[in-house]
Amino acid sequence: MTRHPILVGVDDSDAARRGLAVAQQVARASGGTLQLVHAVKNPWASSPQPQGKHAELLDAVLLQAARSRVAAALAPVAGAEKIAGMFVRAGRAPEVLNAAAKDVNAALIVIGGKRHTMLGRWFGSSTGHGLARTADRPVLVTAASQEPLRRVLAAADFSRAGELVVDSAQEFVEMLDGQLRVLSVVEPLPVVPEVPTTVDADEYYRWAETDLATRLWPRATQPHAEKVMRVGQPVETILREVTDWAADVIVVGSHGKTAVERSLLGSVSEGLLNHLPAALLIVPPIRRPGKRIVPAPALAHSVT
């Protein structure tokens, strides 16, 4: 059966080499192939672009210089054939990676996670944040750890996206022969002093756990899969669970919020990207022409 490629965004950084090492682990486990891609910042984004053959020659020189620099950095960890086949394209990294993923019908995009200041994210974003907002296929952002991915924490909410998270996490665990824990976070009931509450908190949390036990948790059929519910704020609670359980990768869903909503309210996936305590697998819905957003296919089904 034909295997779909795993697209790996690379540059000359340590983070890119870590991302490539994780992509190699996933490729070995899934039987997929790797396609390396390097995005070169467009030198004419804020300057007048020259015209004619001189401009074409200058672009070619810039792309070749970038290829040589990245190839030298990856030589110790990537085979010569993979480096020779690397795509080098000009443009913003998220746009280049999304376009390349479409070109090769990639099942997964992998990048090495980097720490960015809040100011840097506000003005220029990061590749991880850009892909979290725009990718139409799963994106794996690796963390600083060099350990193989085995302990998978699925952070699944009560929406349709939560079901997709559990399904995708289970496929990922089976592919890696790993361990699965499904975590669902229930936010505390709001307390408004001026408004008397008519909902008993304990009863509400019991109802939430019953709903999870009947609708969501049965989807986690992997042997010895753990299912837990916590009460708290989502990002902080997930971060605590990652530490307590020593998770190697977190699986979260992307709800397809608009850019305006994200800039004002943020999202769990982007909040976790800001901290990146472990590798982060972001599973988006996909939008089909003329239809509402529907879940993307599970990861392992895509790579086979």
Residue pLDDT, tens place only, 225-279: 999 999 999 999 999 999 999 999 999 988 555 544 444 334 788 889 888 999 9
**Predicted confidence (pLDDT) at residue 52 exceeds the cutoff of 90:** no
Stronger pLDDT, 207 or 118, i.e. the higher one: 207
Place of tokens 């008397």: 196
CA 145 vs CA 238, 246, 262, 271, 275: distances in Å: 18, 11, 28, 19, 13
Please, what sign has the CA dihedral across residues 132, 134, 137, 140? negative
**Predicted confidence (pLDDT) at residue 75 exceeds the cutoff of 60:** yes
Spatial CB neighbours of 246, under 8 Å, sequence gap ≥ 6: 151
Stronger pLDDT, 23 or 271, i.e. the higher one: 23
Strand partners, 291: none
Stronger pLDDT, 298 or 79, i.e. the higher one: 79
In CATH terms, the fold of domain 6-303 is: Rossmann fold (3.40.50)
Give the span between the Cα atoms of 142 and 281, in whole angstroms: 8
DSSP state letter for 217: G
Q: What is the pLDDT of residue 291?
A: 38
pLDDT band at 287 (very low <50, low <70, confident <90, very high): very low
Q: What is the pLDDT of residue 159?
A: 82
Cα of first residue to Cα of last residue in the chain, in angstroms, is: 7
pLDDT band at 50 (very low <50, low <70, confident <90, very high): low
pLDDT band at 297 (very low <50, low <70, confident <90, very high): very low
* Phi, psi dihedral angles at 40 (to 5 degrees): -105, 125
Q: What is the pLDDT of residue 114?
A: 75
Share of the chain above pLDDT 70, in %: 79
Spatial CB neighbours of 228, under 8 Å, sequence gap ≥ 6: 181, 182, 183, 184, 241
Q: Across all residues in the chain, what is the average pLDDT? A: 83
Give the span between the Cα atoms of 208 and 229, in whole angstroms: 9
pLDDT band at 298 (very low <50, low <70, confident <90, very high): very low
Q: What is the pLDDT of residue 57?
A: 80
Give the span between the Cα atoms of 297 and 302, in whole angstroms: 7
Q: What are the pLDDT digits (tens) for 83-131?
A: 999 999 999 999 999 999 999 999 999 999 876 554 444 333 488 988 9
Q: What is the pLDDT of residue 267?
A: 78
Share of the chain above pLDDT 90, in %: 59
> Are the C-beta atoms of 136 and 284 separated by less than 8 Å?
yes
Tokens of 143: 């963390």
Mean pLDDT throughout 284-290?
55
Q: What is the pLDDT of residue 121?
A: 43
- Predicted model pTM: 0.85
**Predicted confidence (pLDDT) at residue 133 exceeds the cutoff of 70:** yes
Q: What is the pLDDT of residue 284?
A: 85
